[in-house]
Structures are given as structure tokens and as C-alpha cells.
């Protein structure tokens, strides 16, 4: 059973199909040629003309040679008149051949010209028989008799060279000598060969065209995606190698579609969960902060007052995280619309930094601000751009306490004006007392992209530097270069 399954699998493969084409080509000479000749011999007789009956006497050159030599032996000792008379009699029987004989002195005694159908007249061309033969001419003629055209059958009178009575010749035209072969066979064979070669080339061409067409269809399905960004299914083809590849491709597309559906469903659940949690946590946090405010008015010890302030800071931090989580969820879901306006971002940066200045000063930060430059106009959403700056400044306050430095300034880099916000803290990769910078920076990334702004961050153990800029059009960059 295993062998049968292997054979069926091989029989459906492209390799097996092309091997059949190659095998047919290899079997052409030993198989096709005999079949062609046989078919021609069977069916060709219905279309070709029959060989004239007069050709039957000349169908076997071997028999003619035996007959000619036998007649030559019978003429041994006959006078010239007797030889001439006998050859005239033979010429009546073999009237399609030329017969002549030469005596022992080299004189041509008799020449009988062939008489027959007009077919023979055009093909019968031979040099004139000389009236007198030299010894050299006679020897050369007899030596090359079998190679002459027309064929010459030569025999000594008496069939003995020693008799010295001369020689006699029968010449057979080429048309008669070749009459035993089937007329038109060469043409039929050439047509059969050409037909087979054309069939081989066409079948090979169609074979590879079919493979190329199926591969291009599969390539098109891979390149052009549908509405969901997934490749389209391809119609299943024959169960060969490409067919199995198409089946595997369809399976992959189906699994990707199912995975995309699950991902979309899970994303929707996550967004709803984040939104619900954000709203549900706001109420208890507000109540806790109100009670902490009431407790702050009571007479507490110094340690209790310190614990109360610490709880208030943590609750405020937790509230900020919830706000960031809700904002990230809204931005990532695409439900938040930004109102872009042409604003001076240096002015917005100065106003936001002024709001954070007292907090940094309270914590002992060294503050360096250099924004005294020409206005810098970008298309931004004012409230959300302030949110970007608040998140960046909040990260400095939480994660850069070890450096106690804030730097805010503008520079020219690569022919473009950029905003730079830096600190000398331990970097975002280092350990800090507060967490949550990742979510804040994710909101920064989403908002800046929505405002078509670029940004980068370099964070090391010596500090963090954040750069914000607006990409210049390519033509402006080229003009500057």
C-alpha cells in the first residue's frame, strides 16, 4: 500500500509529467520511425501511383547481372553478326535499357537506345558511347561501371577476359534502378519528423507556460492584499507540487485571518477593560483624597503628617497613571480627534516650563532654559502638545532626581530647528523610585505622530536627551545641500 501511494504521488507530480515528455523524445528514433514507415506502407499505397510494370524486369540488379553474364557465356565463339543479333533480341526484352558491345579491336559494334515512357527520357543522361575504345578507356569504364550513372552492367563476351572477344554492356537509368523504393517516402518521413519535433516543442512550451501561469497567480495573491491587509485565497489547482503549495498558502491565509480576528476581538476587550477600569478607579481615588484632606486638618504627629503627605503623593501619582492609561487607550483606538493649529511651539514650551518651574526649584533642580529665539511655528493641537511636555517634565521630576538638572533649549541640527529637553539623571534604564515612564512615553509617541512631528531619545547613565522636530520637505533639504 505504501508503494502504491508513492506511485500515485509521483504520478501526480510535475516531474513525472515532464519525464513523460522526455521519454517520448528518447523513444522517437527506435519506435516512431518504424511506426512511421509501417503506417506509410499501409496507408500510403492509397495515395501514390503504382510502379509501371515495365520496371519489374529491373527491380533486382543482382538478377540482371546473373542474366547478363549467362548470356555472355553463351556467346563464346560466336561471330560478330551472331553477337549483334542476340543483343538486338535482348534489347527488345529490356527495351528500357541501353545495350552495346565492343569487339576485341575496340570498335563499338552495336548501340540500342532505350524506348519507354516519357518519364525515362528526362532522367537518362550519359556520355556518348565512343565508336572506338582505347585500352585505357575500356579498362576505366569497366572498373567504374558500378559507380556510373546510369548503372552499367559489364561482362566479357564468353564471360572470360582471356577469350579476347570484347565486352558487352547494359545501362539502366536511375529512375528504373530506384523504382523498388516507395515513391514519396522521404517526404512522408520528413513531415513525420517535423511534426514530432513541433509537438515536442509545443508540449514543453505549454508545460512550462502552465507552471509559470500558476506561479504568477500565486505571486499575485501574495503581493496584493485585501481590505484587512491579508493575502487573498487562490483557487486550488491540480494535486502536484504547485497544488500542494497553493493548499499550504490557503491554509496560512486562513490561519492569519483567524489570528487577526482573535487579535481584533482581544484588542476590543482590552480597550473596554482599560476604559472601564479608568472610570471605576477615579471615584474611589477622589473619595480617598477628600478624606486625606480632612485628616490633614486634624492634629497629627509629625510622623503621621509625613505619612499623610506620602499617601497623598502616591494617590496623585496613581491618578496620573490612570489619566495616562485612559489617554493612551483613547489615542490608540483612534477615537480621539486632534485639532491642529499653526502655533508658536517655543511660546507653548516656555509657558509649560514656567508652570513646572516651582516644582523643580522646590526639589533642588538646576534649571537651564534658553528659548530666546525667533518664533517656531508648527501645526499642533495646543492641549495635547502641552500634554506631551507635561509627560516629559513629569519623567524628569520622577526619574532624574539623582542629577537634579533640567535643560530646555533650541538648536539647529541638519539645517532644521529642533527642541531639546535633557536631564542628568541615571537614565530611563536605571532603577528609580517611581515607575510608569513607559506609558507616558508611549503617549508622547502617539501624539507626536498624530501631529506629524518626529522625536528621538538618547538615554545613558549620564542622563537623557529628548529631541523634537518637524521633518523638512525633501525639496527644501536638497536646496540647502
**Dihedral sign of CA atoms 301, 302, 306, 312 in order:** positive
**Which bin fits 334, alpha (ψ -120 to 50), beta or left (φ > 0)?**
left
d(CA 167, CA 144): 15
Beta bridge partners, 169, equal 100, 154
d(CA 98, CA 172): 7
pLDDT at 125: 43
pLDDT at 437: 52
DSSP 51: P
Contact 114, 124 (CB under 8 A): yes
Each residue's pLDDT expressed in tens, for the chain with a length of 481 residues: 555 555 555 556 666 777 777 777 676 666 666 776 676 666 655 445 555 666 777 777 788 889 999 988 988 888 889 888 998 898 888 888 888 998 888 898 888 887 754 334 334 444 678 888 888 788 777 776 656 566 788 888 888 888 888 899 988 776 665 544 444 556 666 777 777 778 878 887 887 888 888 888 888 887 777 666 778 788 877 777 778 888 888 888 888 888 888 877 776 766 676 666 666 666 676 777 676 777 777 777 778 777 777 777 677 767 666 776 666 666 666 666 788 999 999 999 999 999 889 888 888 999 999 888 889 999 998 888 988 898 898 888 878 888 899 999 999 988 889 999 999 888 766 544 444 456 778 888 888 888 889 999 998 888 899 999 987 765 444 344 3
| Residue whose grid cell is 515512357 | 117
pLDDT at 189: 66
pLDDT at 116: 57
Burial of 62 per CB tally in 10 Å (0-12, 13-18, 19+): exposed
DSSP 31: I
Closest by alpha carbon to 101, among 167, 156, 172? Answer: 167
d(CA 470, CA 9): 61
Q: What's the residue count for the chain?
A: 481
For residue 347, give Cα distances in angstroms to 37, 373, 392, 466.
101, 10, 17, 18
pLDDT at 310: 76
Contact residues for 426 (Cβ-Cβ < 8 A; gap 6+): 399, 400, 402, 403, 432, 461
Q: Which helix (H) or strand (E) holds 392?
A: helix 382-399
Contact 105, 165 (CB under 8 A): no
d(CA 136, CA 158): 21
pLDDT at 41: 64
Closest by alpha carbon to 41, among 260, 147, 169, 192? Answer: 192
401 — phi, psi (to 5°)? -65, -25
| Residue whose grid cell is 501514390 | 48
pLDDT at 343: 92
pLDDT digits (tens, 9 = 90+) for 300-344: 777 877 777 777 767 776 766 677 666 666 666 666 678 899 999
**Dihedral sign of CA atoms 139, 141, 146, 147 in order:** positive
Amino acid at each position: 500500500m505504501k508503494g502504491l501511494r508513492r506511485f500515485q504521488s509521483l504520478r501526480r507530480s510535475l516531474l513525472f509529467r515532464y519525464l513523460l515528455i522526455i521519454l517520448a523524445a528518447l523513444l522517437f528514433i527506435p519506435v516512431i520511425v518504424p511506426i512511421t514507415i509501417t503506417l506509410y506502407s499501409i496507408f500510403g499505397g492509397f495515395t501514390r501511383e503504382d510502379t509501371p510494370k515495365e520496371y519489374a524486369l529491373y527491380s533486382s540488379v543482382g538478377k540482371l547481372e546473373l542474366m547478363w553474364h549467362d548470356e555472355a557465356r553463351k556467346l563464346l565463339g560466336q561471330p560478330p553478326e551472331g553477337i549483334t543479333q542476340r543483343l538486338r533480341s535482348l534489347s527488345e526484352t529490356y527495351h528500357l535499357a541501353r545495350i552495346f558491345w565492343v569487339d576485341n579491336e575496340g570498335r563499338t559494334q552495336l548501340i540500342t537506345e532505350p524506348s519507354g515512357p516519357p518519364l525515362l527520357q528526362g532522367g537518362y543522361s550519359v556520355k556518348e558511347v565512343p565508336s572506338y575504345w582505347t585500352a585505357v578507356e575500356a579498362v576505366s569504364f569497366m572498373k567504374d561501371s558500378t559507380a556510373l550513372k546510369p548503372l552499367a552492367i559489364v561482362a566479357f563476351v564468353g564471360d572470360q577476359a582471356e577469350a579476347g572477344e570484347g565486352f558487352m554492356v547494359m545501362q539502366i537509368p536511375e529512375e528504373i534502378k530506384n523504382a523498388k523504393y516507395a515513391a514519396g517516402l522521404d517526404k512522408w518521413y520528413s513531415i513525420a519528423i517535423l511534426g514530432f519535433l513541433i509537438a515536442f516543442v509545443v508540449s514543453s512550451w505549454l508545460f512550462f507556460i502552465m507552471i509559470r501561469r500558476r506561479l504568477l497567480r500565486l505571486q499575485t495573491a501574495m503581493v496584493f492584499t485585501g481590505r484587512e491587509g491579508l493575502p487573498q485565497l487562490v483557487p486550488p489547482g491540480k494535486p502536484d507540487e504547485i497544488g500542494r503549495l497553493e493548499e499550504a498558502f490557503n491554509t496560512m491565509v486562513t490561519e492569519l485571518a483567524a489570528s487577526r480576528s482573535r487579535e481584533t476581538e482581544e484588542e476590543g476587550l482590552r480597550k473596554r477593560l482599560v476604559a472601564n477600569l479608568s472610570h471605576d478607579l477615579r471615584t474611589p481615588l477622589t473619595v480617598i483624597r477628600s478624606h486625606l484632606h480632612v485628616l490633614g486638618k486634624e492634629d497629627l504627629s509629625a510622623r503621621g503628617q509625613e505619612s499623610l503627605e506620602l499617601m497623598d503623593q502616591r494617590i496623585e501619582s496613581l491618578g496620573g497613571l490612570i489619566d495616562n492609561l485612559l489617554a493612551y487607550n483613547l489615542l490608540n483606538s483612534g477615537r480621539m480627534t486632534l485639532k491642529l493649529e499653526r502655533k508658536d511651539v517655543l511660546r507653548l514650551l516656555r509657558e509649560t516650563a514656567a508652570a513646572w518651574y516651582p516644582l523643580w526649584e522646590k526639589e533642588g533642580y538646576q534649571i537651564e532654559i534658553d528659548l530666546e529665539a525667533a518664533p517656531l511655528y508648527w501645526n499642533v493641537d495646543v492641549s495635547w502638545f502641552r500634554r506631551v511636555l507635561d509627560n516629559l517634565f513629569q519623567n524628569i521630576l520622577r526619574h532624574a532626581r539623582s542629577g537634579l538638572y533640567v535643560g530646555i533649549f533650541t538648536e539647529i541640527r541638519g539645517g532644521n530647528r529642533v527642541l531639546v529637553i535633557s536631564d542628568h539623571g541615571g537614565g530611563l534604564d536605571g532603577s528609580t523610585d517611581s515607575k510608569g515612564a513607559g506609558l507616558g512615553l508611549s503617549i508622547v509617541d502617539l501624539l507626536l505622530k498624530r501631529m506629524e512631528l518626529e522625536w528621538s531619545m538618547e538615554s545613558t547613565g549620564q542622563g537623557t536627551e529628548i529631541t523634537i522636530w518637524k521633518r523638512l520637505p525633501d525639496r527644501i533639504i536638497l536646496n540647502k545641500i
